[in-house]
Amino acid sequence: MPFEIKHSAYSGPLDLLLSLIEKRKLFVNDISLSQVTEDYLSHIKNLGGLTEGENHQLFPLHDVSDFIVIASTLILIKSRSLLPELSLSGEEEQSIEDLEDRLKEYQKYKSLSAHIEKLFRLHPLFSKQYIPPSKRKNQTSVFAPAKDISVANLQSGIWRVIESFPKKQVLPKVAVRKVKSLEEVIQDLTKRMTEALTYSFKQFTDGEISKLHGMNKKNDVEDSENTDEKEVVAKEQKVTVIISFLAMLELVKQGMIYANQHNDFGDILMESQQVGTPRY
C-alpha cells in the first residue's frame, strides 16, 4: 500500500502512529493500535525502501531505530489481539501500556502545539531596538576590557566551544539493543504464534467435527446450523488474517535486515545513503 503522505510529514514514530489512528477516526487504545499496526509496518518498511534520489526525505538512522522500537510493541499488541491465547510476559504487557500512555501524552502536546503555531508572531511584543555604539548620537566610544581577557582564556574558551560541537550521529547503544530485541521479538512471536495457530487449527478442526456432529444430530434445526456456519466463517477469517499477518512479519523481518547490517558495523557513523539503499 503506497503512502500518499511523504515521510517528512511525520515528526517521529508517535506522530505517524497518531495520524494513522486519527485517519481512522479512532481513539488511542490497544484496539486502535492493533488496527493500525499493518499501516505502520508498511510505512516503516518504506523507510528503508526509498531510492537514493529521495534521500533528502530520509530520517537519520537513529530516528529509524526509534520507528522500529515502536514497531516491536505494535506487533505485540497485534499478536495479542489476533491470538488471545498468546501469553505475554509482564514486561511485554508493560510495554503495551507504556505505548498507550505515551501516545496519549504525545497527542496532548501535539494538539497544544497548534496554539503555539497560531500565536507565533501573530502579534509579537517587540524589544527596544538596539542601537550600536557607533550609531549613537553624542556617545564616545569606550574600551572596557576585563581582567579575565587574555590569550590563554580565549584559547581555553575556543576549546570549550569545540568540545561542545554535537557529536556525529552514532547509533545509540540502547537503540541497537532494542533493534536487536525486535528481531528476537519477531522470531519468538513467529514461533509462539505458529504454536498458537496450530492450536487454533485444532480448535477449528474440533469445530468442524462438532459442526458435523451437530448437523448429524440436529439436522432439522436450521438456526443452530447457521450459528455454526458463522463460527466457521469467523474462524476462517481469523486464520486468513493470521496467515497474512505472518507473511507481513516476514516482510518486516526483511525490512529489519538493513538495520541489522548497521548493527554489524557496531557504533559506526551512519550515512543517510546507506540507510536509503533498498535491501530487498
Partner 1 sequence: MSTNTESTLQELAQNIEGILFWKGEAVSKKKLIEMFECSEGQLEEVLKHIDNETKNRGISLVQTDSEVELRTSKTVSKTIDQIQKDELSRDLGKASLETLAIVCYRGPSTRKEIEYVRGVNCQSILRTLEIRGLIEREEEGSRILYKPSIDLLGHLGIATLQELPEIDKVKGMIEKHEENTEE
Please give the residue ranges that form the binding site for partner 1 (CB under 8 A): 10-15, 60, 62-63, 66, 70, 102, 105-106, 108-110, 112-113, 115-117, 119-134, 136-137, 141-151, 153-155, 157-162, 164-166, 168-169, 172
**Smallest distance from partner 1 to CB 111, Å:** 9
Q: How far is the CB of 114 from partner 1 (least distance, A)?
A: 8
Least gap, CB of 264 to partner 1 (angstroms): 22
Nearer to partner 1, 157 or 205 (CB): 157
In Å, what is the CA distance from 276 to each residue of 10, 107, 168? 17, 29, 18
Q: In this complex, which beta carbon is closest to partner 1, that of residue 62 or of residue 192?
A: 62
In whole angstroms, the minimum distance from the beta carbon of 8 to partner 1 comes to 9
> 142 or 247, CB closer to partner 1?
142
Type of residue found at 92: E
Cα–Cα distance measured from residue 71 to residue 182, given in angstroms and rounded to the nearest whole number: 8
70 close to 36: Cβ distance less than 8 angstroms? no
Cell 526483511 locates to: 254
In angstroms, rounded to a whole number, what is the distance separating the alpha carbons of residues 12 and 183?
21
The grid coordinates listed for 162 are 569545540
**Alpha helices by DSSP H, the chain:** 13-23, 30-48, 61-82, 90-119, 151-163, 173-217, 222-265, 272-276
How far apart (Å, rounded) are the C-alpha atoms in residues 134 and 145? 18
Give the nearer residue to partner 1 in terms of CB position, either 2 or 126. Answer: 126
- Nearer CB in complex with partner 1: 208/271: 271
CB of 134 to partner 1, least distance (A): 7
Q: Which three cell numbers stand for residue 235?
A: 474462524
1 vs 152, beta carbon nearer partner 1: 152
Least spacing, CB of residue 101 vs partner 1, in Å: 9
Nearer to partner 1, 172 or 266 (CB): 172
Residue with cell 534520489: 53
Q: Least CB distance from residue 109 to partner 1, whole Å? A: 5
What is d(CA 215, CA 130) in angstroms, rounded to the nearest whole number?
92
What single letter denotes the amino acid at residue 11?
S
Q: Which secondary-structure segment (H or E) carries 130?
A: none
